[in-house]
Amino acid sequence: MKGKLLAAIVLAGAAFAAQAQVEIRLWHAMSGAAGVELERLAARFNASQSGYRVIASHRGSYDRMVAVALAGRRSEFAPHLMQVSEAGSAELTVRGDAVRPLWQVLAEAGQPLEAKYVAAVADHVSDPGGRLLALPFNTSTAVLYYNRDAFRRAGLDPGRPPKTWPEAAGMLGALVDSGERCGYTTAWPSWVLLENMSAWHDQAFATRQSGVPEVRLSFNGQLMVRWVAMLASWHKSGYFTYSGRESEAEARFAAGECAVLTSSSASYAALRERAAFDLAVAPLPYYDDFGGAPRSTLTAGDAIWVMSGRAKTDYRGVARFIGFLAAPDVQAGWHQKTGAVPLTRAAYELTRKQGFYAAHPGHEVPVRQLLANPPGKNAKPVHLGEFRRIRTIIDEELEAVWGGRKTPLDALNSAVARGNALLGRISGRLTQ
């Protein structure tokens, strides 16, 4: 009888402890290894303390997840934290009622974070004062991939990728002359070809113009006209092949169809696994006769946002979990397992000391690219409403260039005009 009573007391105590835990809901859209690793981190945090229990759950695509969360954000079942894509983060930044600034949540809870961020990683979710609006997580930058075997067949040095775009022209010519069906292709054209190339050369993608309070697109300058004109000539000569608006180019490169690719550094592990050739990764080329290039490329990817409308006790748990995710050892592990760029220099240095880069040098390339030079004044991403639609406009205009229907200057002017008209309509709706 005493044994049964003791067992009942133990069970009751366990049930009370479980009820006493504050539940923190984290929604994400990552599948595969990254999603599994995020849920492992949540379990690791849960095991490290008893006051909070983080529940990480996959909620389908980013767009659907954000739509559901915003529609039901006042519900008791709404998430406390949501991992949002880069374009979605740009839109959440201009919609402050749905989220709480991360720096504010951390300050209220007295939760410090590692201060030495990799500037280019944190900038895309920071306010003008450099305070974090969300936690960068699963971020990447644009890099160049190339097929060393194809370089060897073309008589090129497989250990010497192009540093500049004019130098790349000669290499692409040699590759095509050697029989390669496709010299160069790119994934995510707007992000790689316009947004990153602008930042890499410290040129404005969008600016605040006199008398206009909102940001307006301004990428139709000398650099972009020169760059898109070069790509158009490469397209005619067969040096450059257009593959699509998203990641279609990666499949062509991995299959050995294209010898050179520009895409996200986050794709490195997957490309290495799929490619049946000697794969290498290198920094993004640049124009060495243009200003102070190279400066710093942009980062893109996911960020973990704090949703508004939760209880104060919940936000203390949110802050503690964010502090856990930002710790150098957690960041280093995430970087090594997923290929994402680490948030802090401490995580980068820890990874280097552990010998990871000696065994996997390709993973260090994007980090060194971001750290090599101080970011220029135009390296910080701009926060634009309806950024997805703006990128669609850019893709449409670039496709008109590849199809010979518009000149580079006309296409860029049209993209800027159409994008600014969209931004003007958004601004009008917000002020009504």
Q: In the listed set 350, 371, 392, which residue is the last one of a domain according to the structure?
A: 371
Contacts 24+ apart (CB under 8 A), 86-90: 86/124, 86/300, 86/301, 86/302, 86/303, 87/387, 87/388, 87/391, 88/62, 88/63, 89/124, 89/125, 89/134, 89/302, 89/303, 89/305, 90/124, 90/381, 90/382, 90/383, 90/384, 90/385, 90/387
Residues 41 and 151 in one domain: no
Model confidence pLDDT, tens digit, residues 323-334? 999 999 999 999
- For residue 211, what are the CA distances in angstroms to 94, 215, 216? 20, 11, 11
Predicted pLDDT at 12: 44
Same-domain status, 149 and 249: yes
Report pTM. Answer: 0.84
- At residue 431, the pLDDT reads 39
**Max CA pair span of the chain:** 89
Weakest-pLDDT range from 103-117, 397-411, 417-431: 417-431
> To 5 degrees, how large is the angle CA 97–CA 42–CA 306?
10
Provide DSSP, 377-431: TT-SPP--TTHHHHHHHHHHHHHHHHTTSS-HHHHHHHHHHHHHHHHHHHHHHHH
Q: pLDDT tens digit string along 191-246? A: 999 999 999 999 999 986 544 557 899 999 999 999 999 999 999 999 999 999 99
Please report the pLDDT score of residue 299 as a whole number.
Answer: 85
Q: Where are the beta strands (DSSP E) in 12-161?
A: 22-28, 52-58, 81-84, 99-100, 135-147
Would you say residue 422 lies in a domain?
yes
Q: What percentage of the chain reaches a pLDDT higher than 70?
A: 89
pLDDT surpasses 90 at 321: yes
Task: Give domain status of residue 14, yes or no.
Answer: no
**Quick one: average pLDDT of 107-128?**
80
341 burial via Cβ count (<10 Å: 0-12, 13-18, 19+): buried
The answer to whether residue 9 is domain-embedded is no
Assess if residue 12 is contained within a domain.
Answer: no
Same domain as 250, residue 184:
yes
pLDDT for the residue 13? 46
Same domain, 222 and 314: no
Is the pLDDT at 384 greater than 80? The verdict is no
| Pick from 74-78, 173-177, 265-269: least confident | 74-78
Verify that 288 and 213 share a domain, yes or no: yes
Q: Give CB contacts under 8 A, 24+ apart, made by 67-70.
A: 69/27, 69/307, 70/98
Same structural domain, 252 and 393: yes
Does the residue 377 lie in any domain?
no
Residue-range definition of the domain harbouring residue 359: 21-139+300-371
> pLDDT: is 278 or 301 the higher one?
278
Residues 407 and 337 in one domain: no
Assess whether pLDDT exceeds 90 at residue 107: yes
The answer to the question of residue 57 being in a domain is: yes
Nearest to 56, CA basis, from 77, 72, 79, 74:
79
Total domains in the fold of the chain:
2
Whether residue 387 is found in the same domain as residue 319: no
pLDDT average, residue stretch 268-285: 94
pLDDT of residue 127: 81
User: Same domain for 154 and 258?
Assistant: yes
The two counts, helices (H) then strands (E), for the chain are 20, 11
pLDDT in tens, 327-359: 999 999 999 988 888 888 999 999 999 999 999
Predicted pLDDT of residue 309: 87
Domain's final residue, options 324, 347, 371? 371
Q: How far apart are CA 175 and CA 318, in angstroms?
A: 52
Residue 345 falls within a domain, yes or no? yes
Query: Quick one: 103 and 211 in the same domain?
Result: no
Segment 51-70 shows an average pLDDT of: 86
On the question of a cis peptide bond just before residue 294, with omega within 30 degrees of 0, the verdict is yes
Q: Of 345, 371, 397, which marks where a domain is finished?
A: 371
Quote the pLDDT of residue 40: 94
Q: Is the domain of 354 the same as that of 265? A: no
Name which residue leads in pLDDT, 120 or 197.
197
d(CA 277, CA 161) in angstroms, rounded, equals 16
pLDDT of residue 15: 45
CATH of the domain at 387: 3.40.190.10
Does residue 54 share a domain with residue 107?
yes
Residue 1 domain flag: no
